[in-house]
Chains A and B, each alone.
Chain A
Amino acid sequence: MKRRMLYLCMELNKTLRLLPRMLMQAVLLMVLMGLIAFGGVRSMDREPLAVSVDIAVAVQDDDALTQMALGFVESMESVSEFCRFRQVSEEEGLALLAQEEVTALIVLPERLVDGIVNGQNPSVEIYFAEHAGIEAVLFKELTDAGASLLNVAQAEIYGANDTAAEYGFTDRLRMMEMEIDGYNLAFALDRLALYETRQLSVTGQMNVIQYFAASAAVLFLLLSGMALYPLMQPEAAVFRRQLARQGVGFGWQDFCQWLCGFVSMGLIAALLPAAARFLPAAARFLSAIAKILPAGMETVGEEPEVWTQAAELLQRRQNAGHMGMSVFLIVCSLMLISTCVYCIYSLTGSRISGILLLFVVSLMMIYLSGGLAPSIFLPETMQKLGGRLPTAWLIRAFGGVFTGYEGEAAAECAAGICGYTILLGGCAWLCRRRYDRLRV
């Protein structure tokens, strides 16, 4: 027992000696990841993609009513947001469509408005380009919605006419029509009254910054495992067997190595809240640096306020009442990350291949789990696979620090993490036993 404790002390001693170097490497990694995020911040903060639909309109006569209706439609906010109308002749419109300079061509027949009013309903022809893209789809949706609204309005007016004639209220028909127009206009102009506003987010309860902070934390910790190789890589077989001969069994040696890795991982993880606090200061510093960068790169440091906001968002916990659960899940997560790193070093048995495999596996797992882009944007098979990976549980656990944990979800998360810890620990144990058998 004394020799076992002595071995543990020596491993801890070794950890202490290596700690400054490992922390430095972790800080370097953090700075590197921060710089990548800093460079990519503009893409996070940019305006949504603006879709502009060019429409050619061919009016077959110079009817003033038709021109007025067209002007009304063009000026509608929902249309003018992404439609640009261009009045052309039918031949010109077809030529533009063939050249794909416009998305659609609308041919308005003669006396269109009169026809609508008197119930003839002359058909409007709409031509789309052969290889119509997203713009054409949007425009088709818009025209379909407009046509449906018009159908309903006409049906209401005809219905009112028939009812008034049936019951002899024709004198009050004008008033009924005005009321119907009022309702329709109200619905048309204030469409939000018809719909329930519901905000959906691919990042779940977390906001975008919290989500990416959680996944970046998981990636950072996994990659920090590269700095832990002196602690976690298998010792020389001769050394292990000598120790075993002295009564320090293989199992105890493995446990001590894992424990030292876990302790180091905990200390590296402590850098994360510190980094969140220093985020605005770091951004200001980077902005200052960016100003002396060569031409074309100065935009990199233009938005330090984004980082200040990010830091505020990270520090704002939505449900601060679950401190115990947060600590428990983070400790479990660190155990899983340490075990994952340990398993990879056990699998490869050498430093370089271990580091390379750890790098590749970490990036792949994070990508599939939606850590680089939310998994909803990935193919369905990848989504299913990614949801079952340990990194998916880890992102949830780290995200819970910001959003708090609900009982059942927390238990599920803890079970997932513990399950993976046991599984990877078992794999590592088998690999080490094989390693011990093979090497002389």
Chain B
Amino acid sequence: MDNQINDEMIRVTDITSAYGGPLRRKWVLKGASLTAARGECVGIVGANGCGKSTLLSILAGTLKPESGEVIYYGYPAWSDRRAHVVRAQDKQNEYSTTAAGGGEQTGKGRVWCHKDIFRMMTGYVPQENPLIPELTVYDNLRLWYPDAKQLKQELEQGFLSLLGIQNYVKEQVGKLSGGMKKRVSIGIAMAGTPPVLLLDEPSAAIDLVCKEDIRCYLQAYIRRKGTVVITTHEESELVLCDKLYVMKGGKLTPIDRDLRGADLVKLF
């Protein structure tokens, strides 16, 4: 890996995605592409239903694209080529590769997935909180942190303590407010401290205090060289973005990061 590739954390190339059967096929993404470097925050804006969440699902590995490539840290996660099997060597984002079938071209038109890359590289905060409401916050976190010691450490002095989760760790999730649930969702996404955080409208339907807390948390994460891809309608979160893309017609177009209000809406 050369330095240039190492600095580029995410490369998304010509991603396409569609819903429905062969007769009612609706194309949502028609060749979306973006790049993000280490320690960079990339914002995606666009009208409702334009495909932002679909793109994030693909980046998180929970939805399969029709075609295109998603590359994390130089290693293909979704790809038309089955190139490498990647294995983590340690927890410091050092990876090594071993050849699998010599990196051959296999299966024309087939998109290959590498679940391990998604798992190691990304944390995903969907719009809907992936929580079990009947369980406590601790139990929910425990599901995503198989190592109890690591969880305890995170709660005491890690990312989870920054989110303030330790204060209500014994509460039942079903009884928490929307903002608290969102914090737990972010905490879950941070299990294994991934270098990329994907957030799908994290500030939707939460109060101002919580929005501010999440913003501060994201700032801290970016300062620690984390990469963030965020879909949002909130100006306070747009401020964090180093790059801004607008999603329109299934494609991503880079725009000026300082655009706000009516000027921004015109582009939707």
* A positions within 8 Å CB-CB of B: 2-3, 6-7, 10, 13-14, 17-18, 230, 236, 238-239, 241-247, 440
B267 within 8 A of A: no
Q: Are B130 and A247 in contact (CB under 8 A)?
A: no
Q: Are B57 and A10 in contact (CB under 8 A)?
A: no
In the bound assembly, the distance between CA atoms of A353 and B128 in angstroms comes to 22
Please give, as numbers and ranges, the residues of chain A lying within 8 Å of B134 by CB-CB distance: 14, 17-18, 230
* B positions within 8 Å CB-CB of A: 19, 53-54, 57, 60-63, 115, 118-119, 124, 126-128, 130-132, 134-135, 139, 142-144, 146
Query: Which of B115, B128, B132 interacts with A245 by CB under 8 Å?
Result: B115
Can you report 18 residue pairs joining A to B where beta carbons are below 8 Å apart?
A6-B142, A6-B143, A10-B143, A14-B135, A236-B130, A238-B62, A238-B128, A239-B131, A239-B132, A241-B57, A241-B62, A241-B63, A242-B124, A243-B130, A245-B61, A245-B118, A440-B19, A440-B54
Given A239-B130, A241-B62, A242-B126, the answer on whether A10 and B135 have CB atoms closer than 8 Å is yes
In the bound assembly, the distance between CA atoms of A14 and B142 in angstroms comes to 13
Please give, as numbers and ranges, the residues of chain A lying within 8 Å of B127 by CB-CB distance: 238
Given A236-B130, A242-B124, A245-B119, the answer on whether A440 and B146 have CB atoms closer than 8 Å is no
Q: Are B146 and A6 in contact (CB under 8 A)?
A: yes
Least CB distance from A139 to B in Å reads 68
Least CB distance from A227 to B in Å reads 14
Please give, as numbers and ranges, the residues of chain B lying within 8 Å of A230 by CB-CB distance: 134
User: Other CB < 8 Å A-B pairs besides A14-B135, A17-B134, A245-B62, 5 of them?
Assistant: A3-B146, A236-B128, A238-B128, A243-B130, A245-B118
In the bound assembly, the distance between CA atoms of A17 and B135 in angstroms comes to 8
Least CB distance from B192 to A in Å reads 9
Q: Are A13 and B144 in contact (CB under 8 A)?
A: no
B126 closest partner in A (C-beta): A238
In the bound assembly, the distance between CA atoms of A10 and B130 in angstroms comes to 14
Q: Are A246 and B144 in contact (CB under 8 A)?
A: yes
Please give, as numbers and ranges, the residues of chain B lying within 8 Å of A6 by CB-CB distance: 142-143, 146
Least CB distance from B266 to A in Å reads 28
In the bound assembly, the distance between CA atoms of A299 and B227 in angstroms comes to 76
Please give, as numbers and ranges, the residues of chain A lying within 8 Å of B63 by CB-CB distance: 241, 440
Q: Are A247 and B124 in contact (CB under 8 A)?
A: no
Please give, as numbers and ranges, the residues of chain A lying within 8 Å of B119 by CB-CB distance: 245-247
Given A2-B146, A440-B54, the answer on whether A13 and B135 have CB atoms closer than 8 Å is yes
Q: DSSP majority for the A interface?
A: helix
Q: Are A242 and B142 in contact (CB under 8 A)?
A: no
A2 closest partner in B (C-beta): B146
Q: Are A238 and B135 in contact (CB under 8 A)?
A: no
Q: Are B54 and A7 in contact (CB under 8 A)?
A: no
In the bound assembly, the distance between CA atoms of A236 and B119 in angstroms comes to 20
Least CB distance from A250 to B in Å reads 12
Least CB distance from B13 to A in Å reads 21
Closest 8 CB pairs of A and B: A241-B62, A239-B130, A238-B126, A242-B130, A14-B134, A238-B128, A2-B146, A10-B143
Please give, as numbers and ranges, the residues of chain A lying within 8 Å of B19 by CB-CB distance: 440
A231 closest partner in B (C-beta): B134
Please give, as numbers and ranges, the residues of chain A lying within 8 Å of B128 by CB-CB distance: 236, 238-239
In the bound assembly, the distance between CA atoms of A429 and B52 in angstroms comes to 30
A3 closest partner in B (C-beta): B146
Least CB distance from B124 to A in Å reads 7
Query: Which of A14, A17, A18, A238 interacts with B130 by CB under 8 Å?
Result: A238
Query: Which of B53, B61, B135 interacts with A440 by CB under 8 Å?
Result: B53
Given A2-B146, A6-B146, A10-B143, the answer on whether A245 and B135 have CB atoms closer than 8 Å is no
Least CB distance from B135 to A in Å reads 6
Q: Are B124 and A14 in contact (CB under 8 A)?
A: no
Q: Are B62 and A242 in contact (CB under 8 A)?
A: yes
Please give, as numbers and ranges, the residues of chain B lying within 8 Å of A242 by CB-CB distance: 62, 124, 126, 130
Q: Are B57 and A440 in contact (CB under 8 A)?
A: yes
In the bound assembly, the distance between CA atoms of A113 and B127 in angstroms comes to 100
In the bound assembly, the distance between CA atoms of A245 and B115 in angstroms comes to 6
Least CB distance from A434 to B in Å reads 11
